[in-house]
Amino acid sequence: MAGRRRVSGSSVVALCLLLVALVACGGRPGADPVRADVQRLLDRRAAAVLAHDAAAYARTGTGTGFGNLSAIPVADWSYRVSEVDRAGDSATAEVELRYRVEGYDRGAVATARTLRLSRDGTGGQWSVDSERPAEKSGQQPWDQGAVEVVRGARSLVLGVGQSTAALRGYAGLADRAVPAVSDAWDGAWARRVVVVVPRSVEGMAGLLGSPASSYRGIAAVTTGETGGREHAPADRVIVNPDAYGLLGDLGKQVVLTHETTHVATRADTTSATPLWLSEGYADWVGYRDTARGPAQSAPELTRAVLDGGVPGRLPTDDDFGFTADADELARAYESGWLACRMIAAQWGEDRLNAFYRAVGAHDERAGAVEEAMDEVLGTTPEEFTRQWQDYLRTELG
């Protein structure tokens, strides 16, 4: 037919091959050979860490830091290169390090790292010159020095710049915290805890990637991802030895039990959970087996109530900011604790646990507390607040 031309099968094949060639040349870029070389290098470096092979580690570049981390019982260790910026025979690689502590971490810790690399002449092998936390990422314990590991019956303590005796003390406290938490919290959890003890508050701040001024009065914090069971793989209790050391024996135990509670409840703590509930519940568990009464354990709130200053509302998340006034921060924690204590006293401990889980199971913050109060406690936020205010007057007045 006029205007049409039949194309043979061989011509079609040739045309397809031509198109493939054009796409390869002018379309999607091919794989970056330098990035691939760096990935292979870091795969060998990771294998050396897992094999505890210092010589193999050194063959990938600088061996600095290997001794600092060699005592940590890692089950997994891997790097994933995300970006390589090359300048001749030098390069900077942005990578994600993922590692898991054997017997303690259900999932891997993920942290961003920056590596400097170099090679000897064109076509030479790349090697690592340095590795450090990426910008805005916290340090890992081995970035601060040699990590000493002390194993407790239910705990693993990673210490830097601390005596073995001091680390054993932390392990003993953590070993007592785990069964205390399990006795209160009826949810499933690993019943093990990892405690990190840096040299000072500056070391704590370095691990958290924040200024030291934010943590000077904070004895310990727990790191971990909220958002459901699959997003809660690896919690760490990080201690501020400067503030923690000022506590008495009871205070030290309460703090570690509080932080261990965060580890236990992590899978049921989500963005829907207000801080008055998560922090208040952790304090409730911390004080649960002690003989201290409310007036002793909530001195700032007691003073406020005695002065006629019963809070008009439950604390907001902003009230728990580490940069807040110390007295206001204390009142926020004490208010949350007494709210949870009231639930346990008036509705029972099982209802308190069910209320905690019901709030966390909500898809979003809006309506989470209201619905859980209705479904589990049979009350409203307004009525609950009135009951809580009366409870404060009774217990602290």
Per-residue pLDDT tens digits for 372-389 = 999 999 999 999 999 999
pLDDT tens-digit readout, 196-245: 999 999 999 999 999 998 898 899 999 976 555 555 568 999 999 999 99
pLDDT of 29 > 70? The answer is no
- Cα separation, 23 vs 51, whole angstroms: 43
The structural domains of the chain, ordered by start, are 33-137 (3.10.450.50), 138-269 (3.30.2010.30), 270-397 (no CATH)
* pLDDT at 40 (0 to 100): 97
pLDDT of 18 > 60? The answer is no
Structure tokens given for 50: 């897992």
- Cα separation, 16 vs 178, whole angstroms: 66
* pLDDT at 353 (0 to 100): 98
- How many Å is the Cα radius of gyration of the chain? 27
The torsion angles phi and psi of 240, rounded to 5 degrees, stand at: -95, 100
pLDDT of 9 > 50? The answer is no
Mean pLDDT, the chain, whole residue set = 90
pLDDT tens-digit readout, 80-118: 999 999 999 999 999 999 999 999 998 899 999 999 999
* pLDDT at 32 (0 to 100): 80
Mean pLDDT in residue range 285-294: 95
* pLDDT at 128 (0 to 100): 98
pLDDT of 68 > 50? The answer is yes
pLDDT of 13 > 50? The answer is no
Nearest to 235 by CA among 196, 183, 277: 196
End-to-end CA distance of the chain: 102
Cα angle value 185/240/170 (rounded, 5°) = 60
* pLDDT at 106 (0 to 100): 87
Q: Judge contact between 252 and 220, C-beta under 8 A.
A: no
Nearest to 396 by CA among 289, 322, 321, 298: 298
Q: Rounded to two decimals, what is the model's pTM?
A: 0.88
